[in-house]
Amino acid sequence: MNVLVVGGAGYIGSHTTYELIRAGHEVVVLDNLSTGSHKSIHPQAHFEWGDIRRKGDITRVLKAQAQAGKPIDVAMHFAAKLIVPESVTQPLAYYENNVEGLRCMLEALIECGVQNIVFSSTAAVYGEPKAPECREGDPTEPINPYGETKLACEKMIKWAAAAHGLNYCILRYFNVAGADASLQIGLDKDQLTHLVPLIMQAALGLRDKLSIFGADYPTPDGTCIRDYIHVTDLAQAHVLGAAYILNNNTNVLANLGSGTGFSVKQVVDAALELFDVPFEYAPRRPGDPAKLIANIDHAKTVLGWEPQHGLQSILKSDYDFRQKLNKSSEV
């Protein structure tokens, strides 16, 4: 496959690029580097600067690939804003980037004859689930603007696919964490908001303490329950999903998680078995549901995918990556 990875300089996009290249595929990365880093792009990937909100940036790359005799087979979308609390305070920015950006991307794909798209969605589309596990057919009732924009994108893809004969693979992520085994890439951002890297920063002394937001949720220990998936497992699912829709000329919607729920306190306790992690409890954050766990049977059955990494592997890989970053900054 020749794959266009839009947002390939970011956390999940860069890991997916690594897995695509390891599987023998060719990759073109398009990114505006607003949150991603050029150093996270695989050295064998071809990089083009571009903004998803400008259709001309995407068509330029697609046409250039076609003219070079290497037309894009599948396009992958990783170029979304994704911080839940920020989406509550900046909803219009999220609609502008996430929804309008995807509209521009779809127009470019249709104009240039690219029929396959893999889209990164989120468990946030489920809102406050009623069942113990989220299944793909469950009601979608987001409780924050981030989830609303992702759901709007899912619907846009489905309508565009019906009108223009596109094939899509929509993957709903649960909590993604960890780093590539090479430690060349990981979650490398100045402003971190996700639990696992925040734990590691506290363990490495890069922040005074970890804040656990909310201890009064309707869960056994009062903290939020989430499903944590290693970023490498997630990236490998994208490779399988792209090949599936390309080879079968069909569509798929699937959850990606571990299928197991851990409370925030349980994750902290697991980290405490490996490192010293100072922490404190803080008030709830707006827009956080109490519990999100994936049912991943569909991804297993359709894509032949199975997560290989557990919670300890996630924690250890992120710690090792962050420790490497810290040492590099001290040189």
Tens digit of each residue's pLDDT, the chain (331 residues): 999 999 999 999 999 999 999 999 999 999 999 999 999 999 999 999 999 999 999 999 999 999 999 999 999 999 999 888 899 999 999 999 999 999 999 999 999 999 999 999 999 999 988 887 999 999 999 999 999 999 999 999 999 999 999 999 999 999 999 999 999 999 887 656 789 989 988 998 989 999 999 999 999 999 999 999 999 999 999 999 999 999 999 999 999 999 999 999 999 999 999 889 999 999 998 878 888 899 999 999 999 999 999 999 999 999 999 888 877 766 4
Distance between CA atoms of residues 230 and 106, nearest Å: 29
Three-state DSSP class for 2? strand
Rounded to an integer, what distance in angstroms lies between the CA atom of residue 26 and that of residue 34?
24
Question: Burial, 331: exposed, middle or buried (Cβ in 10 Å; 0-12, 13-18, 19+)?
Answer: exposed
pLDDT at 168: 98
DSSP secondary structure letters along 244-307: HHHHHT--EEEEES-S-EEEHHHHHHHHHTTS---EEEEPPPTT--SEE-B--HHHHHHH----
pLDDT, residue 330, reads: 61
At 132 the pLDDT is 79
Residue whose pair of structure tokens reads 């903004």 in the numeric block: 51
Q: Cite the active site residues.
A: 146
The whole-model pTM stands at: 0.93
Q: What is the pLDDT of residue 288?
A: 83
Asked if residue 303 lies in contact with residue 118, where contact means CB atoms within 8 angstroms, the answer is: no
| Cβ-Cβ contacts under 8 Å for 194 (sequence gap 6 or more) | 175, 176, 177, 187
pLDDT at 190 (0 to 100): 60
Confirm if 121 and 113 have CB atoms less than 8 A apart: no
pLDDT of residue 329: 63
The pLDDT of residue 325 is 84
Residues 6+ apart with CB under 8 A from 249: 167
The first and second tokens of residue 160, run together, are 């565009």
pLDDT of residue 323: 85
State how far the alpha carbon of 32 is from the alpha carbons of 62, 99, 114, 235, in Å.
16, 17, 21, 21
The answer to whether the CB of 309 falls within 8 A of the CB of 232 is yes
CB 58 within 8 A of CB 274: no
